[in-house]
Amino acid sequence: MAIRRSALTLAVAIVAGFGALVVPASAAPNPLQRTEPTYSYANAIRETVWVDTGLSAPNGARVRVAADIIRPSEVTSGVPVIMDASPYYATLGRGNESQKKTYDSAGKPIQFPLHYDNYFVPRGYSVVLVDLSGTARSNGCVDIGGRSEIASAKSVIDWLNGRATGYTTATGTATKTAGWSSGAVGMIGKSWDGTIANGVAATGVDGLKTIVPIGAISSWYDYYRASGATFTSGSPTGLTQVVENAQGAANCASVKSTLTNGSPSTGDYTAMYRERDYVQSASRVKASVFAVHGLNDLNVKTINFGQWWNALPPTVERKIWLSQTGHVDPFDYRRQVWVDTLHKWFDHYLVGIDNGVEDEPGSTVEQSPDVWEDDSSWPPAKSTTTLRLTPSGTAGVGTLGATAPPSGTTAAFTDNPKIGEYDWINNPTATSASRLAYRTGALSSPIRISGTSQITVTATSSSSAARVSAVLVDYGPATIRNYRATGEGIRTLSTRSCWGESATGDSACYLDTAANTTSVTQNVIARGWSDLGHYAGLETRRNLSPGTQYTITFNLATTDQTIPAGHRLGLVIGSTDSSYIAAAGSSPRLVVDLSKTSLRVPLVGSI
C-alpha cells in the first residue's frame, strides 16, 4: 500500500475567519481535512492561453493549443490545476449530456463542460480544458494519440510550471504566464481524454502529480486490433475526421497517410502503433493513478486498463474502480461517492492535505448492480489456475477442468462469419458446426476471476488465414447491468441534481441516472480475439499452410467477476466473432488439438 504523506508539498488555503489565507509550504501541520467552497464561482477568472507545443504542423506553422482556464479571482498564486485535454469540445461534447465549450462574442470561455469547474473552482482549484492539436481552437493535426496530441497536454503542464511559452492569441506575439499556478496538475478524462492522461504520464513530466483515466486506452493497437485480428469499429484515419477542425482537414493529409499506412489490414503491430503504445513507457510514470473502467466496456476494451495497471512501477501510488457498466463515467453510476472520493483524491495529491485517501481500499469493484466490494489492492487473485478441455460423448462439447485430455485429442468447427459470441454461447450441451463449448460442473462455492486470463490454442486451418476467438461465460441466472443497451448499463432520468455552483451559461445541475438492469441465464464475462497468422509475433502476419499445426497464445479481456455457487464457468472457442472482428477473408475449417490447448485464469477460489 502507498506510504502516507504527512508533510505539505504545496501551498494550501486555510479557511480562517474572514476568508482564505494562503500559507507557505513550510507551515506544518496542515489543519485542513478538505478544501471547502470558499471562493466565488460567478466572479472566477475565465481566460484562454495558446501554448506553443514546440512542434510544427505540415504547413510549417508552429502548433499552438488552446487552453481554456477558469480559476478563483481571489487567489493570485499557489492554485492547483485539474486538466482535461480532449479532442471533443467542439464536436461530440463531453459527459452524458454531450456538453460543448461555449464562448461570448469576445471569445471568452463561458461553459466549461462537466462538473469539475462548478465543484472545484469554489474550493480553490483551477480547471484547464485543453483542445488537442487540430481540434476546436488549436492548430496542427489530429494524430490519434501520437506525438502531437501528447505534446498538446504536456506543453500546457510545462507552461503551468514556467517551462513553455503561452500566448494571448492563436497567432500573435503577446505572451502570458501562469504565475497564479502552483504547478501541481492532475489530469482527468474519459475515453480519448483519459488516454492522453496515460500518454502524458508515460513521459514522466514534472508537475503532473496524478492522473484519473476513465475508460482510457493504454495502447492504440489494442483499440483497433486484438492479437492480429482487426476490429470492425473503424480506423485511425476515420476517427480524425470525427474531431478535426477546418484547418486540420485542409492541411493534414500527410498525417492521415501515416495513420493509414501504419494500420494495415494484416493486423500487424507497426511503428505507428508502437509510438502510441504507452504501456512500453509506463516505467516512467511518477504521478499517482486512479484508474476507472467499465468491465463491460466494448468500446475501449478492458485489456487497456489491465495491461496499464500491471506495467505501472511498484512505486506508483494507485487506486482502481471497476464497474459493471460499459463505456460510462462514474459520475453517471455512483455520483455521490464518486464526487466525494475524487475530492479527497485531488485534495491529497494536488493540495497536499493529509486526509488518508492513500490508505483507503485500493480497489472498489461492482459485483452486481449497485453492490460494491472493496479490497486492499487489485487484483486480489494471487495465483493462476490452468484449465483444460476434455471432450464428452457429444462432438465439440466437453468439460472444463484440471484434467488434460489424451495426447492427440481433437475437435473441429467451421468459421461462420455471419454469427458470433452471442450465438456461440447458446445450447452449450449441443454440437454446433461453428464453435466448441466446454463447461465446469456446477460450482459448489463461488469463485472470482480477477485479472487477465490467457489462452493457448493449437490448431490447423484449411485455408491460409484464420481467426481464433475465445469467450468466458457465466452460465446461470443473474440480474446484470444491461450493458449492451443504449446507456451501456445506465438510464437517464428526468430529474437533476447540482454539484457545485452555477453561473449564467454554465449550470452545475445534471440529469440524474439509475442502473438499467436485465435478467439473463448466461453472460459473457471476458472475450479475446486473434489472427492465427500472427502465431510467431504481432509484427508480421504469416500465411498458414493447410493441415499444419500452429500454436497461438493471446489474452482475454481483463475482468473481475464473481460466479455464484450453482453456476458453471464456460469456455467457448470460435473463429470470426461477427459482433467485433472482421473475417480473415475465407471460412476455414479449424481442427483444435485439445491436448495442446489450455486456459490460464486468475482465480480466487477453486473449481
What number is the average pLDDT over the span 500-521? 98
What number is the average pLDDT over the span 63-77? 98
What number is the average pLDDT over the span 58-81? 97
With cut-offs at 50, 70 and 90, classify the pLDDT of residue 13.
Answer: very low
17 has pLDDT over 90: no
455 has pLDDT over 90: yes
Radius of gyration from C-alpha coordinates of the chain:
25
Tens of pLDDT, residues 384-398: 999 999 999 999 999
Catalytic: 567? no
- Output the pLDDT for position 107: 96
Q: Which entry of 115, 327, 343, 534 is annotated as an active-site residue?
A: 327
Identify the weakest region by mean pLDDT among 7-11, 58-62, 523-527, 570-574. 7-11
State the residue for C-alpha cell 483497433. Answer: 224
Query: Taking the mean position of all CA atoms in its chain, how far away is CA 213?
Result: 6
* Cβ atoms 504, 539 nearer than 8 A: no
- Output the pLDDT for position 586: 87
C-alpha cell belonging to residue 11: 501551498
Catalytic: 191? yes
* Cβ atoms 390, 438 nearer than 8 A: yes
Average pLDDT, the chain: 94
Identify the H or E element spanning 304: helix 303-311
Tens of pLDDT, residues 532-579: 999 999 999 999 999 999 999 999 999 999 999 999 999 999 999 999
Helices assigned H by DSSP within 88-220 = 116-120, 147-160, 192-201
Catalytic: 297? yes
With cut-offs at 50, 70 and 90, classify the pLDDT of residue 14.
Answer: very low
- Output the pLDDT for position 26: 32
Task: Give the domains, in start order, of the chain with CATH numbers.
Answer: 12-35+44-375 (3.40.50.1820), 384-604 (2.60.120.260)
pTM of the full structure: 0.94
Angle at alpha carbon of residue 165, lines to 163 and 166, rounded to 5°: 125
Tens of pLDDT, residues 289-339: 999 999 999 999 999 999 999 999 999 999 999 999 999 999 999 999 999
430 has pLDDT over 80: yes
With cut-offs at 50, 70 and 90, classify the pLDDT of residue 350.
Answer: very high
Residues 6+ apart with CB under 8 A from 166: 49, 50, 51, 52, 67, 159, 175, 176, 177, 178
- Output the pLDDT for position 31: 58
Q: Which entry of 158, 297, 354, 531 is annotated as an active-site residue?
A: 297
- Output the pLDDT for position 143: 98
19 has pLDDT over 70: no
Tens of pLDDT, residues 175-225: 999 999 999 999 999 999 999 999 999 999 999 999 999 999 999 999 999
Q: Which entry of 155, 191, 218, 453 is annotated as an active-site residue?
A: 191
486 has pLDDT over 60: yes
CB neighbour class for 170 (10 Å; exposed up to 12, middle 13-18, buried from 19): middle
β partners of residue 51: 65, 166
* Cβ atoms 435, 473 nearer than 8 A: no
Length of the chain: 607
Residues 6+ apart with CB under 8 A from 454: 553, 554, 555, 556, 599, 600
